[in-house]
């Protein structure tokens, strides 16, 4: 894991534990004990990823997240002791890329950090022409999905939804983010719209729609497109 990770957390023992965990896997780590210090470090050191605790003594983590997102596309993984779905949705809508509730497993955190670093390494202009996810090929140049070379019939909205998720594979997108991206509407029941289209999409691309592997539901939050690791 060759990356510079910025940890913003006011608890020294948490910073030490996270730093040790990431450094053992090859990451370089810098840390800050407050939101203001974290923003300064983010501006001066340009980290590859930020791990952000939302319970900070000076600025709220939500403020840090919003300010950081105003000028940087760096992946932000939020840590919090708050478990409410509304809080997760709020932080993701403010620009966080992921959200882990305490206590969490170290292996899960490291896996998510790796996934976000992989995604960040591929900018929109550097997207591969084709993403292979199991038996499915998603071809961005041909604007379609294929199984064994045969085009899968997708409606324009289904293709837009699949493309939006696949180009941000590994990132959980909230109902509102997907709704805004695909429908470009500011009103309507986003989760209700999405439920219908996600169900239809799963029937077309999932090996077993009743046990989805590619389009993962984050209950109460949104959806995430997963590419089998061996094929990512």
pLDDT tens for each residue of 2-21: 899 999 999 999 999 999 99
Res 184 pLDDT > 70: no
Q: Does residue 210 sit in helix, strand or coil?
A: coil
Q: What is the pLDDT of residues 92-140, one digit of tens each?
A: 888 888 888 888 888 889 988 988 888 777 654 566 788 888 889 999 8
Instruction: Retrieve residue 180's tokens.
Output: 């805004």
- Find all residues with CB under 8 Å of 83, minimum gap 6, and list them: 101
Res 177 pLDDT > 50: yes
Judge contact between 184 and 174, C-beta under 8 A.
no
Instruction: Retrieve residue 111's tokens.
Output: 């896996």
Query: What average pLDDT does this structure show over 198-225?
Result: 91
Using a pLDDT cut of 70, give the percent of the chain over it: 93
Report the chain's mean pLDDT, rounded to a whole number.
Answer: 86
Strand order in the sheet with 215-218: 173-174, 222-225, 215-218
With CA atoms as reference, report the closest residue to 100 among 108, 171, 59, 67.
Answer: 108
- Find all residues with CB under 8 Å of 52, minimum gap 6, and list them: 8, 9, 38, 61, 64, 65, 68, 76, 77, 78, 79, 96
Pairing state of beta strands 98-101 and 49-53? unpaired
DSSP state for residue 53 in the 8-state scheme = E
Judge contact between 202 and 177, C-beta under 8 A.
no
Cα–Cα distances in angstroms (integers) from residue 91 to residues 66, 173, 192, in the given order: 9, 11, 21
For 38, phi then psi, to 5°, come to -65, -45
Q: What is the pLDDT of residues 41-83, one digit of tens each?
A: 988 888 999 999 988 888 888 889 888 888 888 899 999 887 7
| First-last CA distance in the chain | 16
Q: Tell which wins on pLDDT, 15 or 89.
A: 15
Pairing state of beta strands 98-101 and 130-133? unpaired
């Amino acid at each position: 894991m060759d990356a510079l990770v910025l940890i913003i957390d006011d608890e020294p023992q948490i910073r030490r534990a996270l730093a040790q965990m990431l450094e053992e896997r090859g990451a370089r780590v810098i840390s800050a004990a407050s939101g203001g210090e974290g923003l300064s470090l983010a501006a001066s050191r340009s980290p590859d990823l930020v791990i952000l605790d939302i319970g900070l003594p000076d600025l709220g983590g939500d403020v840090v997240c919003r300010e950081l997102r105003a000028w940087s596309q760096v992946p932000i993984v939020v840590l919090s002791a708050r478990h409410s779905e509304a809080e997760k949705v709020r932080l993701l809508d403010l620009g966080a890329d992921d959200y882990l509730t305490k206590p969490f497993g170290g292996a899960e955190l490291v896996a998510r950090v790796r996934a976000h670093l992989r995604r960040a390494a591929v900018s929109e202009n550097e997207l591969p022409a084709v993403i292979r996810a199991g038996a499915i090929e998603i071809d961005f140049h041909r604007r379609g999905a294929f199984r064994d070379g045969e085009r899968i019939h997708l409606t324009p909205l289904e293709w837009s939804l699949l493309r939006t998720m696949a180009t941000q594979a590994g990132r959980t997108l909230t109902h509102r983010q997907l709704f805004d991206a695909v429908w470009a509407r500011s009103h309507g029941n986003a989760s209700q719209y999405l439920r219908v289209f996600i169900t239809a999409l799963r029937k077309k691309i999932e090996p077993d729609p009743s046990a989805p592997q590619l389009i993962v539901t984050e209950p109460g939050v949104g959806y995430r497109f997963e590419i089998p690791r061996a094929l990512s």
